[in-house]
Structure 1
C-alpha cells in the first residue's frame, strides 16, 4: 500500500469526556477497496460517513457495518473489508465510559456490531449527518464532542474504583496475574469475574491473555526488527505459546505482523497513539 493513499489522525475528546472516551481518530482512504486485520480492542463508536464496510469476527459470517456503529469489545482479531473512498470517525470507549454511557453488560455486546441508533437514539443519526457535512477534521471532532456530551447528560455512575484498579492491572504488567487484581480490589474471584464481564466484556483470565498478547504486539510494532523473545518479554511459556496467542488476538503470526507491508492500519495506530499526550495508558495497548 502507498502511504499517501491513507490518512490517520488522532484527536483528544473534550476535557469532560476524557475519563470515559480514550481518543478520537479520523481514518481516510482514497482507494476503491480495502482489506485489513484489526487486533482485539476496546469498544469503539464508529461513524462511517463515506464508503461502506463489513466485519468478520474470527470464522463467523460477514457482518455489514452500520454507518453509525457501536463495536463491542473484541476478544479476537477482526477482519475488515471496505469499499471506498472511505472516511471513518472512531472513538475508543474506556471501560468506565462503557459503564457510564452504554450501561448494558459489555459481554452482551462483545465481538459484535450494533447499530448505534438502537443504543443512543436519533442523536447518532444527527452526528453522522454533521460529520458528512463537515468541511474539516475540527468540525468532525466538534460533532463527536456534541454527541458524547449529550450522552453524558444521562450517564450512569460507573464503578470507578474497579475500573481504575483493573485498568492499572492490565496496562502496567506484561503478564497480568488475576490474583494481583483480587488483592488490589479486596474482592473475591467470583465478584471480579462478574464485574469484568459487565464492564470489560470478558473474564479476567481472558483479559489477561488478551492484554499480554496486545502488549507484545505494541513492542513488535514499535520495533519490527526485534526477535520473538524480545517481543514476548518472558510472558509466554515458549515460542509456540507466544505465536498461538498472538495470532488469536492480532490475527496473524508475529513474523507476518512485523512484515513492513502487513498490517498497515494496526501498525499505524500503534505508532500514532504514542504522540497523543491525553491518551490513557490502557489505550496505548488496545
Structure 2
C-alpha cells in the first residue's frame, strides 16, 4: 500500500473548540473517532464531517473547526491511490467532502468500530491496515507510468513547467490535461501553481526574514502575484503566515529544529 497512501496521522485534542486553516491538500480519508468537526472550502459554507469521510483533492485553502474532546485518524491518498482505491474521476470530487460509507459500505462501519474500540496506537493502525487491505481487493490498476512522472515533475521543480511535462510524456496537451483531471483533480497549470506556492510557503516559513523574493524563488511575476496565490492555496497572506505566534511558523520552526523540515513532496503534501 505504500505506493497508494502517503501516511496515517492521528489528530487529537482535549480543548472545547479549535479553528484552523488547512493548506490545499491531497485527497484524504478521515475517521472521526471522537468529537465533531466541520470544514469549508474557500468562502463556501461549512459542511459537517461524517464519522467516515472522503475529501477530494483541494486546490484552495480549507477552514476547519472542531469541538472536543476530539480524536481523528486521517489518511492521505496519493494520486495512484485515488485511482486504484476510489476510481471516481478526481475532478468530480475536487474541493468536496463526501460520506465514505457510500463508496465502501461493507468495510467502513466495521473499520470505524474497530478503530473506536482500539486501546493502543498499534491496534488503531492494525484496524486501518485491515480496512485498506479490504479496499485494495477491488482496486483498479493505477497508471503508474503517468503518476510517477507527474509526481516527480511536481515535487522536483520549484516552478513546474507544463510544456516540460508534456514533452516528457510524449503526449498531446489535451491528453495530459484529461489524465490530470482524472487522477489529480485539476488542470496541469493549476496543479503547478499549487505546488510551487506550497514550496514557497515552506521556504518562507524556514527563513521568514529573507523576504518574499527569496521565498518565491523566481517562480512568481511580482509580489501581488505571490500574495494572490499564497492566499488561495495557504489561506492567508505571507505576512500572516510568518506573524509572531503564527501556528504555521511554530510548526515549521519545530520541524527545522528536529531536522524534519523539507520541501513538500507529492508523498507528503497531505
Give the CA deviation at 1:155.
0.5
RMSD: 2.4
Change (3 A) 1:62 1:269: farther
218-227 or 167-176, which deviates more: 218-227
- Match of residue 87 from structure 2: 103
Give the TM-score normalised by the residue count of structure 2.
0.93
Answering whether residue 207 of structure 2 is matched by residue 229 of structure 1, we say no
Give the unaligned 5+ runs of structure 1.
Answer: 1-16
Equivalent residue for 1:147, pick from 131, 134, 140: 131
After superposition, the C-alpha distances for 1:27-60 in whole angstroms (9 at most, x for unaligned) are: 1111100100000010001111011011111111
120-129 or 194-203, which deviates more: 120-129
Residues 21 and 92 in structure 1, CA contact (< 8 A), matched pair in contact too: yes
Residues 270 and 284 in structure 1, CA contact (< 8 A), matched pair in contact too: no
Answering whether residue 269 of structure 2 is matched by residue 281 of structure 1, we say no
- Match of residue 94 from structure 1: 78
Distance 1:244 1:220 in 2: 15
After superposition, the C-alpha distances for 1:213-269 in whole angstroms (9 at most, x for unaligned) are: 111112223333432112111111111110110000000011111124334599469
Give the unaligned 5+ runs of structure 2.
Answer: none
Answering whether residue 145 of structure 2 is matched by residue 133 of structure 1, we say no
20-29 or 121-130, which deviates more: 121-130
- Match of residue 53 from structure 2: 69
252-261 or 93-102, which deviates more: 252-261
Residues 43 and 70 in structure 1, CA contact (< 8 A), matched pair in contact too: yes
After superposition, the C-alpha distances for 1:142-175 in whole angstroms (9 at most, x for unaligned) are: 1111111111111101111000110001001111
Change (3 A) 1:253 1:183: same
- Match of residue 180 from structure 1: 164
- Match of residue 246 from structure 1: 230
- Match of residue 10 from structure 1: none
Answering whether residue 202 of structure 2 is matched by residue 218 of structure 1, we say yes
Change (3 A) 1:153 1:127: same
Change (3 A) 1:76 1:46: same
After superposition, the C-alpha distances for 1:120-157 in whole angstroms (9 at most, x for unaligned) are: 21311111111111111121111111111111111101
Instruction: Name the SS for the 1:247 alignment partner.
Output: helix
Residues 221 and 270 in structure 1, CA contact (< 8 A), matched pair in contact too: no
Distance 1:218 1:262 in 2: 14
Give every structure 1 segment of 4 or more consecutive aligned residues whose post-TM-superposition deviation is greater than 2 Å. Answer: 220-226, 259-277, 283-286
- Match of residue 188 from structure 2: 204
Give the CA deviation at 1:275.
4.1
Residues 224 and 259 in structure 1, CA contact (< 8 A), matched pair in contact too: no
Change (3 A) 1:265 1:137: farther
Give the CA deviation at 1:276.
10
1:248-267 matches, cutoff 5 A: 248-264=232-248, 267=251
Distance 1:18 1:135 in 2: 25
Answering whether residue 190 of structure 2 is matched by residue 191 of structure 1, we say no
Distance 2:268 2:132 in 1: 22
